[in-house]
Every structure is written in C-alpha cells, then in structure tokens.
Chain A
Amino acid sequence: MSNYTDELVDFDVALEKYDPVLGFEVHVELNTKTKMFSDAPNAFGDDPNTNVTPVDLGLPGVLPVVNKTAVEYSILIGLALNCQIAERCGFARKNYFYPDTPKNFQTSQYDDPIAFDGWLDVELEDGEIFRVEIERAHMEEDAGKLTHMGGASGRIQGADYSLVDYNRAGVPLVEIVTKTIEGAGKRAPELAKAYVAAVREIVKNLGVSDAKMERGNVRCDANVSLMLKGADKFGTRTETKNVNSLRAVEHAVHFEIERHAAVLDSGAKIVQETRHWHEDTRSTTSGRPKSDADDYRYFPEPDLVPIVTTAEWVEELRSRLPEPPADRRKRLKADWGYADKEFRDVVNAGVLDEIEATIAAGTSAAVARKWWMGEIARLAKAADKEIADLGVTPETIVELNSLIAEKKINDKIARLVLEYVVDGEGKPTEIVAKRSLAVVNDDDALGKAVDDAMAAMPDVVEKIKGGKMQAIGALMGPVMKATRGQADAGRVREIVIEKLGL
C-alpha cells in the first residue's frame, strides 16, 4: 500500500516544461431489460444474487445467447460517435481469475470491435471545440460486485474476506476507447471532464443507458503521460481507475500531471501502472504494475457465433439517431433567446429537457428559466440533490403557473406549494386544496378584512383620502394577517379605493 504523499509540481510549472498526452476508456452500462448473454433482468439495486441465471454463474453446460437490443444499442453508440460499423465481428474470452467473474473469463471483443475509427467534437467551457478521435467501441459484459469485509472502510487492503453479488455480472457494457489525445496542453483536465460529459450526454440522449455516474452507469479510466516539449516520443503512461464523477475525472488528470512532472523532474521514471483515485484526498495511489497478470490469453468465444451487420440494418439504426446534443443545444439557445451565460448555466444544471418540456407545455422561455434556475435550483441545493432528481416535473410548473394566472395563488404561495411538491405531498392543485392555500379574493371576506383594517387605522384612511395612495400599503399588513397571507393584494387595493369612493 503506497502513501498519499507523492511529490507534486505545480500544474502551471509542469505545463511550461511538458505536454500532457491523454487517453480515455469509458465504460457505458446499457439499460437493456436483460443482460448481454442471458435473460436475467438488468436492474440496479435489487436484492443480492436475485438477477442471476446459470449463464451468469458460468455453470457447466450453459450456452450464452447475445441480446439483440444490446447489439443495436452498441451500433447506435458507434454511429453517434461517427464510427465505422464492423460488417462482421465476434466475441472473445478475456481470461482472468478473480471472484467478480465466476466464469474465470469476461466475454468481450478483442481484435474486431463492433465500432471503430470515429470522432467526437467536445465543447470546452469557453465554447472552443476539441476533436477527440475514437479508436473503437466494443461490446462486453460487466463483472459482479465485491464488498470487502473486515478491513478499514470497505477497502480491499486488510479485508478478512469479501462478499460477491452477481446481479451486475453480465450486464451489457460498451467500452469506448479514444486514440491518443495530444495538444490539450493546460486544458487537459478540462478536456477530460468535457469528453466524459459529452459521452455521457450522447448515451443518455440515445436512451441506451441511464448514464448515472454515481451508479456506475458511466465509468472512466484516464490514461495520462507527459512528454518534454518538443520531444517526439510519448512518455510512460499511468491509468487511473475508479474515476466516477465528472469532477473526479478533471481532478485526477490534474493530479497525475503534477505527480508525473515531479517524478520526471527528479530524474526517476514513471512506472507503467494502474493508479487508484481517492475522492477524499483528491489524489491517486499506486495500484498494481502491469505484469504477467495482464496476460489475458484472449481467444475466440466458441459458444458465440459472429455478428454480421447488413447495410440495411445499420441504416435503419442510423435513422433512429436523435438530434446530436450539440446541434440541439444550438437550436434551443436560439429558440429561447437566452444569453450565453444563462444558457450555459442551464446546460450545466442539466435541466435542458425540463425547460424544453415546460416551454412546450405553454410557459414562456423566461418564466421556465426563472422557475428551474431559481426556486427549483435553490430547493435542489438545499436537499443536496440534482435538480432533475427533485421530483419536480414540467407539469408541476405548468400547473403552478396556471394557478397564478387564475389568481388562485400568488408568487409567494406558489413557492411554498413547490416546497410541498418536493416533500412529496402531491400535485400543486391537490396541495392548494388540501392545505387551503388558495388566495382569498372573494370580496365578502376581503371586504370584511379591509373594513376592520380601516376601522383600526383612521389616520391611514385620512391619508389615502388626501390622495396618498401609497398609504394603502399600511392597510395590507392587517388584511394579510386576517387572511393568513392569502389575500390577493391587487384586489385589496381595488376594494379600498371602491370603499372610499376614490
């Protein structure tokens, strides 16, 4: 177990001397109903070992059968990444002994990936486009989940034993591998984050993955090496695993650049190895070096026959491709008339879909943004959740807006109703009824409250009579108190004026 106290060189100093070279392997879990090679459910969060068939356990005599939908989703990913689709490809066994795979091999693709030679234009924060070349995207299966027991904080080091749940074993994965990425310079960490975000956005937009990084639906291994400026040979790379948030991808690349520079400056060599990312210390530690253990002895999977993709099949799938996220953003920004920063904030908050649906339901672009980026964002922050996970739907906003338009509630009460929606009390209309929140605008009740207020404040009444209309505000306090804050302020003003015959 190595320590956390690697020497570092300041990032900017490192970048004066070295050029970073990057490469990414992103694993995407597909959201098919069943697994890659068995008809067990592909579901997250079920009881351990309940989504398991003999195929997933690698029991003797079982025969895997490829999930057609998983193949189609893989082709869709390939097409969205501007890849060539293999006319013919097959599966291979990647042999290794580890408890996360009961078969002692992972079924994967080796020298004939289903998709290859693509590219993805990644938009950096200032709008600059950086093209990342895609080497390949291949199909494989996920491994089971290990829980290490008895050691400190679930770590494998020092554990007494481990428990294995094979629900995830066999879940369809697509691994997307980039070509070597040069020329990012000091924007390497930013590019890393933007690239993974772009891949996540694409698979989410395709509908082929739930794309939740916190659930491991999208996982990134980041390869980093440094070369002296002007050198023509790549340096030795390290591969940082377990980088499972966008922020972590950015930080991990930043950290490895600083660490590599320190090692190289000291005259030592970078060891080609796996590094583990630690969110708590924002640093990496040494995993295992590349060694004999990486001899996976790939060979063709004899239980699975090749997959042949006809031009008709591929073109049919191509016709299913949704509008690319980057194109869609350009279109929506123009349609909604948001300023650059307003739009960027909306994108970063991940509420494009919500705002689009809210607008489609008849709300103005400005009002939709006001809700999602204002009150809803505030509630999400308070609850420490993503806005999209708050349980507020476009319908909620449409309903609130019509309640306001019908003068049943005012803005202030609408915000209160929204809090109750987040608390799971139901739809706005139900909440308003259940909690008697409707604005009081029936003239009898308001008239009584106004009479009482005027009787209690004769001096104010005199001022109003004398033409000081702003004095009406002084009556508003007692009226609101009498109606528990639910009086329609505009109507109160009208009633006062009527009563005084002004």
Chain B
Amino acid sequence: MSAISREDLVHLSRLAHIEMSGAELDKMTGELGVIVDAIASVSEVASSDIPATSHPIPLTNVLREDVVGQTLSIDEVLLNAPDSDSNRFKVPAILDGE
C-alpha cells in the first residue's frame, strides 16, 4: 500500500498552486506512491548504527569569503520573466477577490 493517499495529493497540489483534475489526481496518486515506495526501500538497508545524512560525501564547512563577485545585468535578470515593469518582475495579483 502506497504511503501517498489521494488526500495527500490534493493537499500537495494546493500547496504547490497546481490545479489538478480528478483524473490527474488518480493517476498521480499512484505514480507518486511508486516513487515514495522506491525511496522508502533505503530504510530497509539502513540500520540503526548508520547516522542519517543529507549529503553523500562527508564534507563540512564549505564556506566562501565575503567578497563581492559578478552580478547579472538587468537584461539577463529579466530574460525569463513572463512580464516586467520598471526593471522589476511583474506578477499577477497575489490575493484574488479576498
């Protein structure tokens, strides 16, 4: 049984601001479940004496000196912007009808 329920997916789609039809929800519930199950298999291998990690290589303190580098030009910054105004990204109204 998958760890992902249809309700979980409804919740996630709302968090991600992605509108999904009923058919899409049914399909994705199964697909996401397969992915989660696959990843869950890691816990079968990991024993309690292996500490949890978020990084495959045991590096620490990858730090940078506080020195200013190259920034993007304003044209580069806005290159992928669907819309812009006064050198700023223009986004639709954030609250709709509230």
Contacts and interface: CB of A to CB of B under 8 A. Distances in A.
A405 interface: no
Contacts of A49: 74, 77-78, 87-89
B15 interface: yes
A464 interface: no
B60 A308 contact: yes
A161 B72 contact: no
A39 B54 contact: no
Interface in B38-93: 54-55, 57, 59-72, 74, 77-78, 85-93
Interface in A152-189: 156-157, 159-166
A164 B91 contact: yes
Given A49-B88, A57-B77, A34 B63 contact: no
B93 A159 contact: yes
A306 B54 CA distance: 9
A498 to B, nearest CB: 68
Contacts of A161: 90-93
A65 B66 CA distance: 11
Q: Is the interface of B mostly helix, strand, loop or mixed?
A: loop
A162 B93 contact: yes
Nearest to B73: A50
Contacts of A157: 95, 98
B64 A302 contact: no
B94 interface: yes
B67 A33 contact: yes
Contact of B94 (A52, A99, A293): A99
A51 B60 contact: no
Interface string A92-115: 000111110000000000000000
Contact of B88 (A65, A159, A160, A163): A163
Interface string B12-40: 00111100000000000000000000000
A163 B94 CA distance: 11
A53 B69 CA distance: 9
B38 to A, nearest CB: 17
Contact of B63 (A33, A68, A90, A164): A68
A164 B92 CA distance: 11
Contact of A305 (B11, B59, B71, B78): B59
A292 interface: yes
Given A97-B17, A292-B14, A163 B86 contact: yes
Contacts of A38: 69
Q: Is the interface of A mostly helix, strand, loop or mixed?
A: loop
Question: Could you say which interface size class chain B belongs to?
Answer: 35 or more
A41 interface: yes
A262 to B, nearest CB: 25
Interface in A68-83: 68-71
Nearest to B64: A65
A159 B71 contact: no
Nearest to B66: A69
Contacts of B64: 39, 65-68
Nearest to A164: B89
A58 to B, nearest CB: 11
A307 B55 CA distance: 13
B87 A306 contact: no
Contacts of B66: 32-34, 67-70
A110 to B, nearest CB: 11
Interface of B: 11, 14-17, 54-55, 57, 59-72, 74, 77-78, 85-95, 98
Given A41-B68, A157-B98, A165-B88, 19 more contacts: A39-B67, A39-B68, A39-B69, A52-B72, A53-B71, A65-B63, A97-B17, A161-B91, A162-B90, A162-B92, A163-B85, A163-B86, A163-B88, A164-B91, A166-B89, A293-B15, A299-B54, A306-B61, A307-B61
22 contacts: A39-B67, A40-B68, A49-B89, A50-B74, A52-B71, A52-B77, A54-B72, A68-B63, A68-B64, A68-B66, A97-B16, A99-B94, A146-B94, A148-B94, A159-B93, A161-B93, A163-B89, A163-B91, A164-B91, A301-B54, A305-B55, A305-B60
